[in-house]
Structure 1
Amino acid sequence: MPRRSLARVASGLVRIVRPLNSLMVGAATVVGMLIATGGRLELLRPNVALLGFIAGFTLSAAAMVVNDYYDREVDLINDPARPIPSGAIKPGEAVALAVLLAALGLAASARVGLECLALAGLAAAVAAGYATAFKAKGLLGNAMVSFCVALPFIYGGLAVGSLDARLLVFASIAFLANMGREVAKGIVDVAGDSAMGVRTVAAIYGRHAAARLASTLFLAAVMLSAAPWLLGYVGFCYLPLVAICDAGLIRSSLSLLRSPSREVARRVKGEVLVWMLIGLAAFLSGSLLC
């Protein structure tokens, strides 16, 4: 095993928290706050926005670390370059990091308010339950992850005391898009998942079935994305960005249906993160700008 230099450990620590994913969760929390206040910045205290971002980022990062800790055996097959199987991070170090990150996230949530602390505790419990027991359950595990991805919008509304229907619709779109991504990820990890008894759609029913289900979920997110405009929840500025997001999801769906290979599924997994980021920008611009 390669020697553990300081640079290698630092790189492993960055990679294990999946910074892009965690930044998106933190950002979604603040977007939820901004949408709930209708863009009236005087109603959003800067310290609450900062604490919400910290809570979203650290709790997401903690969930990523816990997931990698429990996946360390299957990652020897699926992705041996991950920080723990590659030796960049020791398992005990991952546990300590996860505890620290979760504590920071819960402490930040406590400062925001009791409702946000309760929601953060629920998210942490769901993430821990997924990693320790429910990941092997296939679609149930996928739904647990996607539930946690959708929660930041709800958290943002609770943080400013205004949980409205727009946030529930946006959370539902995020849930569907991430469900599709989770099912597609099962194609990437099918070898290790099959060996370890993880019952993903790809492992049980095959890559083509997983591609069809993932694409169906992506297209459901696309169809639901029309609802905010049709219901008058957003302005015109929503349309250009959501059109890019929807076109991207359709493109990724077609790619996956044409060739549900490990390589294509890995690419789609990355693409969907980009489409979701653009969707997040659409939610924000349509709610605040015009």
Structure 2
Amino acid sequence: MKRKFFDLFKGFLKLTRIEHSLMLVFAVLIGELLAFGSIKNFNLDTLAFISSLIVPSLLSMSAFAINDYFDYESDKLNKRIDRPLVSKIIKRDEALLISIVLFVLSLYLSFFLNQIAFEIAFIFGAFSFLYSFKLKDVALVGNLYVALCMAVPIIFGGVVAGSLNQNHILIFFIILFAGIAREIAQSIRDYKGDAIARGSKNIVHLIGKRKSAMLSSFLYAIAISLSFIIFFFFEPYKLNIIYAIFVGACDILLFYVAIFSLSNYNKVDFIRKTRNTTLIAMFLALLGFFFPLLFS
């Protein structure tokens, strides 16, 4: 059966999780603005600026494509018909080729940045293959890697701009803890299929679903607490009403997920919905980190 271009394009966007790439681009920009202090002081070469936004986006797209390539059997067992390989919109060998091309292209563009930025791109790109192949089956290691991929763009932006400060570090850990919590929750959803298809022994297999849900909620609580520390002590976010609105909305959503996950960890539909809820929460947080930098 001949595949239509629109279906292929939509499958490509699903395969590469383009919405995550857009958030990473935003996070890199925030990291760069934090280094300069505000948008008024922004001073970055045009080519370096454009490359700094494209590189993590391509790496993220490459990572998701190779993840679906290796997860094909477990996704079938978990009935993940939302995945383009399972629904046969994209062929498995095409996903592999897409991942490799995007990875190589991202490394090429990272040459226009500094050495540390290139090394970050290379390390995380290489580990995306290792993660999908085996690391995701190791308790907490896989969860930590994915969370690091979500958090490191803030650091990457600072590295490209040539400066890191305490806000980079605090925001990095907020995203890191929220990211680990989110990944543990998703492990609860997929643990059966992953165990059968991949022989996975993730955190859920070690401590059970209930304790995994408790750990996830605890990590969300740490992320929320760190956001309060920034609000009360660190400029330009100190007592900033814009920060309070957006990050406060994020905290409310994360608190909701953390509390209700404790009693709904056995409900697959609930865990599936929390994936989108936490993605929205993180986007709201990025807005809260971004807008104060426009007016400082």
Q: TM-score, normalised by structure 1?
A: 0.94
Q: Deviations over 1:140-176 (max 9, x none)?
A: 1100111121110111001111111211111111000
Q: Hey, what does 2:142 align to over in structure 1?
A: 141
Determine helix, strand or coil for the equivalent of 2:84: coil
In 2 relative to 1, CA 46–255 (structure 1 residues): closer, same or farther, beyond 3 Å? farther
Is the CA contact (8 Å cut-off) linking 1:176 and 1:221 kept in structure 2?
yes
Give the drift of 1:65. 0.5
Give the drift of 1:81. 3.8
Distance (whole Å) between structure 1 residues aligned to residue 42 and residue 33 of structure 2: 11
Distance (whole Å) between structure 1 residues aligned to residue 269 and residue 6 of structure 2: 29
Q: Hey, what does 1:178 align to over in structure 2?
A: 179
Counterpart AA for 2:250? C
Q: Do structure 1's residue 7 and structure 2's residue 3 form an aligned pair?
A: no
Is the CA contact (8 Å cut-off) linking 1:38 and 1:288 kept in structure 2?
no
Is the CA contact (8 Å cut-off) linking 2:28 and 2:156 kept in structure 1?
yes
- The Cα RMSD (Å) is 1.7
Counterpart AA for 2:276? G
Paired residues, number: 289
The percentage of aligned residue pairs carrying the same residue is 28
Q: Do structure 1's residue 64 and structure 2's residue 64 form an aligned pair?
A: yes
Is the CA contact (8 Å cut-off) linking 1:218 and 1:250 kept in structure 2?
yes
Q: Hey, what does 2:106 align to over in structure 1?
A: 105
Determine helix, strand or coil for the equivalent of 2:112: helix
In 2 relative to 1, CA 173–56 (structure 1 residues): closer, same or farther, beyond 3 Å? same
Q: Do structure 1's residue 267 and structure 2's residue 266 form an aligned pair?
A: no
Give the drift of 1:241. 1.5
Q: Hey, what does 1:34 align to over in structure 2?
A: 33
In 2 relative to 1, CA 3–116 (structure 1 residues): closer, same or farther, beyond 3 Å? same
Q: Hey, what does 2:21 align to over in structure 1?
A: 22
Q: Which runs of 5+ in 1 are unaligned?
A: none
Distance (whole Å) between structure 1 residues aligned to residue 47 and residue 189 of structure 2: 40
Greater mean deviation of Cα atoms: 16-25 or 33-42: 33-42
Q: TM-score, normalised by structure 2?
A: 0.92
Distance (whole Å) between structure 2 residues aligned to residue 199 and residue 118 of structure 1: 30
Q: Which runs of 5+ in 2 are unaligned?
A: none
Is the CA contact (8 Å cut-off) linking 2:23 and 2:283 kept in structure 1?
yes
